Amino acid sequence: MSAAPVASTMPSGGDGLLVWIDCEMTGLDPTTDEILEIHCQITSPTLEPLDPAGYTATVHVPAARLDRMSEWCRTTHAAAAGLLAYVRRFAPEPRSALLAGNTVHMDKMFLMQEPYRPVIDHLHYRILDVSAIKEAAKRWCPADVVAGVPAKRVAIGPRMTSWRASRRPGITWSVCLARQAKSHDHR
């Protein structure tokens, strides 16, 4: 028995969209560390990008941040408001699109902090974490499936010189992994 084909038309209100987010943080503790960069790419349920340019924001944290907290707050709030506006442009219906990414639970922990909380509140409570798919494949799939997982540099391309050079390649690699999992025959 074969599965019913997936509809190729975009559902209304953003239903089924995947909101791929990748954050660069000062560390891994959301109570003491902060987001420095955010990139967002939104795809259809079939993993087609809706806006090839995506959304990118860099939160500038000056050395004397404590002395000029209001400037830092304005920059941070502008990045958060811009991200929310970008997500709502494609997924206007609250809780209709999923947060997606590689080890995206960590990004979600940071995004649950103010001023980013409204972004998480707008998204569905479920997430699509490709690192979980990759870990499941390592344990339960044939070796040829696991061997076919592209390395980050291969999936991203040869121009990638450092991880901090651009956050978008992290999402490119995550979508590549999701496409591979989607295309594998799971019978």
Query: Shortest CA distance to 102 belongs to which of 37, 177, 161, 51?
Result: 177
90 near 53, Cβ under 8 Å? no
Give CA–CA dist 26/30, Å, rounded: 9
Beta bridge partners, 35, equal 25
Q: Is the dihedral of CA 139, 141, 143, 144 positive or negative?
A: negative
Is 125 designated active site?
Answer: yes
Give CA–CA dist 83/99, Å, rounded: 13
Strands (DSSP E) found in 44-179? 55-58, 98-101, 127-129
Residues 6+ apart with CB under 8 A from 130: 100, 101, 102, 104, 174, 177, 178, 181
Positions marked active-site: 125
